[in-house]
Amino acid sequence: LAVVTGGGSGIGRAVCQRFASEGASVVVADISQAAADETLGSLQWDVRGPGHMAAVVDVSSKDSVTKLLTRIQTNYFQPPSVCVNAAGITQDDFLLNLDEQQFDRVIQVNLKGSFLVTQAVAQALVACGAPKGSIITVGSIVGKVGNIGQANYAASKAGVEGLTRTAAKELSRFGIRC
């Protein structure tokens, strides 16, 4: 069972399609119900498994992430053993023009969202005694080298890298890879 945030488009959609083609049950989680449904409709179905599901989530909201995990565990009777944090946005502008709202929103979705989803999935896996799990977070080279017009995005992706490295160190004792 895999949950993919940002599953309604781009990298997230491609990940959903690949997981489904490999026989996984996939939860397509996206801020847009229409986009999640579109991805859901493109997935291969394995009649032996419990099937796929589309779900709306705002990864920047703890309440929304908590509701997503509750819904997954209610429908599948277990937490996802694989999580892909692919939700992400850009709001590009030069540093001299970038406003605080643009900066904050990119940090909220890309960094805080990865934190909230990683924490919720890890807590669910530990609580149920799952022997292993895998949490994958999509980064960017921009987080390492920067990019003109992307100060907010670069900061968010550098933060995601640090978050993921720390999560890997803390969660490895529970059999959770990050």
pLDDT per residue as tens digits for the range 7-21: 999 999 999 999 999
The arithmetic mean of pLDDT across residues 60-81, rounded, is 98
The arithmetic mean of pLDDT across residues 98-117, rounded, is 98
Q: What is the pLDDT of residue 45?
A: 85
Q: What is the pLDDT of residue 81?
A: 98
pLDDT digits (tens, 9 = 90+) for 152-177: 999 999 999 999 999 999 999 999 99
Q: What is the pLDDT of residue 47?
A: 62
Round the average pLDDT of the chain to a whole number and report it. 97
Q: What is the pLDDT of residue 53?
A: 97
Q: What is the pLDDT of residue 50?
A: 81
Q: What is the pLDDT of residue 46?
A: 74
The arithmetic mean of pLDDT across residues 120-134, rounded, is 98
The two three-digit tokens of residue 4, written as one number: 């993919």
The arithmetic mean of pLDDT across residues 38-67, rounded, is 93
pLDDT at 131 over 90: yes
The arithmetic mean of pLDDT across residues 99-106, rounded, is 98
Q: If you ran DSSP here, which 8-state letter would residue 93 be given? A: B
Helix/strand/coil for 162 = helix
6 vs 59, 100, 113, 118, CA distance in Å? 9, 24, 11, 14
Active site residue 76: no
Q: Residue 30's pLDDT band (boundaries 50, 70, 90)?
A: very high
Give the percent of the chain with pLDDT over 70: 98
Distance CA 169, CA 174 (A): 10
Whether 106 and 90 have beta carbons less than 8 Å apart is answered as: yes
Q: How many CB atoms lie within 10 A of CB 112?
A: 18
pLDDT digits (tens, 9 = 90+) for 53-68: 999 999 999 999 999 9
Question: Which member of 65, 103, 153, 155 is catalytic?
Answer: 153
Q: What is the pLDDT of residue 110?
A: 99
Q: If you ran DSSP here, which 8-state letter would residue 31 be given? A: S
Domains identified in the chain and CATH numbers: 2-177 (3.40.50.720)
